[in-house]
Amino acid sequence: MDRRTLLSLVAGGVAGLAGCSTPDNEVGTGTATATPEERSPQATATAAAARLGQRLTVWNPTPDPVFATVVGMRGGRDVFFRNVDLLPGERTSSRIEVPRADLAVVVETDTGIREETTWRVTEPLDGLEVVLNRSNAVFWRASTCSGDGECGLATGGDEADLPLVGDGLSRWYAPAALVVENPEEETEASIRVDLRDATLIDRRFRLPAGTRLSIPVTYRTGDYQVSVETADRDIDVTWQVPNEPAKYVDVTSGTTGCGPANTTLTVANRDDVAHRLSLRIETVSGVFDRDIDLAAGAVRTLVPVVESGPHRVDASLETGTSVSGTWWSCPPRGPATLAVDATGSLSLTAAGPQPG
């Protein structure tokens, strides 16, 4: 049986029939027959107060397509389930209604990943994000601070009218966002974002454990200065927009980046003669330096970097032909390719949609 069909059947088996295997008022999809008492205004108000509208986001940052089933349960009964078929780099979101309670969430993919978590649904947060990596799934309780200044996690400070409008230099599919992650115990963080002499954000936020706070900041090209301070550390970093469509800051480790890294580099010789390639890649963590013999038509797959961000690439052939550039390993870009064409020339490209 096709694995995607199997996953769909598993999800259907877990979910059952809405209103039959599900606790009252806990299903975000489907309908159930209500008794006259349940139709009363008082019962309706009580049921609405017991639920929260949340956003379920599933993201595939890998270079491969993936099919996934996400199921939410409480007390052994289904609350919601979703089947998603995601292209490389694709992210999908749907609005669901869930009880104000702890939910057991299971995700399974056709690549063999199966992960579970407990989703603690609380009002200051507005959703759950499931990130499907190549070998595992990562869950984040999510909160997005809108441009009108409303944010349930903000505890003080000021914010400009965001996202900042564009300057006409680029056309973007979405505003560049600052994403602050707290994988461990609850903490407070002061967040400041400056563009030249203007302060766009200067606010303090409460960050519960396992939370990813997203702030859509700008449509404008520029080098932004980001400062994040907690009781344990100060983090200062430059954010290059639009090369980095999102800037990620981990308040626990202090690491920064531009999202889950696409660390795959394909080296292809499309010439009809063999070549010797000298490759040097400079990263934050070190230098990848290697000579590679490529037979005619040969294709090699390398993983020379581990983190997201800009990587300086210098490559040359024994013929003297060379290419240099920056490999931005940042979503929504896909894997990079270093290719020798039929004329013996070198090129460096990144797959997928490009920001800007």
Q: Summarize pLDDT for 169-203 with one digit per residue, the tens.
A: 666 678 999 999 999 999 999 999 999 999 999 99
- d(C-alpha 152, C-alpha 122), whole Å: 10
**Residue 269 resides in a domain:** yes
Residues 132 and 150 in one domain: no
Please tell me whether residues 150 and 254 are part of one structural domain: yes
Q: Give the CATH number of the domain where residue 149 resides.
A: 2.60.40.10
Report pLDDT for 181.
Answer: 97
| Rounded (10°) CA dihedral 208, 209, 212, 217 | 40
Query: Which pLDDT score is estimated for 170?
Result: 64
pLDDT digits (tens, 9 = 90+) for 329-338: 888 787 899 9
Angle (nearest 5°) at CA 349 between 348 and 351:
155
Residues 32-69 as b or e (16 or more Cβ within 10 Å = b)? eeeeeeeeeeebeeebeeebbebebbbbbbbbeebbbb
Question: Is 87 contained in some domain?
Answer: yes
Tens of pLDDT, residues 237-291:
999 998 899 999 999 999 999 988 778 899 999 999 999 999 999 987 789 999 9
Does one domain contain both 252 and 183?
yes
Judging by DSSP bridges, how do beta strands 222-229 and 154-159 pair with one another? Answer: unpaired
Residues 253 and 293 in one domain: no
- What band does 34 get if pLDDT is binned at 50, 70 and 90? very low
Length of the chain: 356
Burial group, residue 169, by CB count within 10 angstroms (0-12, 13-18, 19+) = exposed
pLDDT at 187: 96
Decide if 217 contacts 256 (C-beta within 8 A). no
Interatomic CA distance for residues 266 and 279, integer angstroms:
12
Strand order in 299-302's β-sheet? 299-302, 265-269, 336-340, 346-350
Read off the pLDDT of residues 204-251 as tens digits, 9 standing for 90 and up.
999 999 999 999 999 999 999 999 999 999 999 999 998 899 999 999
Question: Which residues constitute the domain of residue 213?
Answer: 145-259
- Which two structure tokens, joined as six digits, stand for 108? 């399974």
Pair (168, 126) in one structural domain: no
Q: What is the pTM of this model?
A: 0.79
Q: For position 117, which CATH number holds?
A: 2.60.40.4150
Radius of gyration of the chain (CA): 24
pLDDT over 80 (residue 46): no
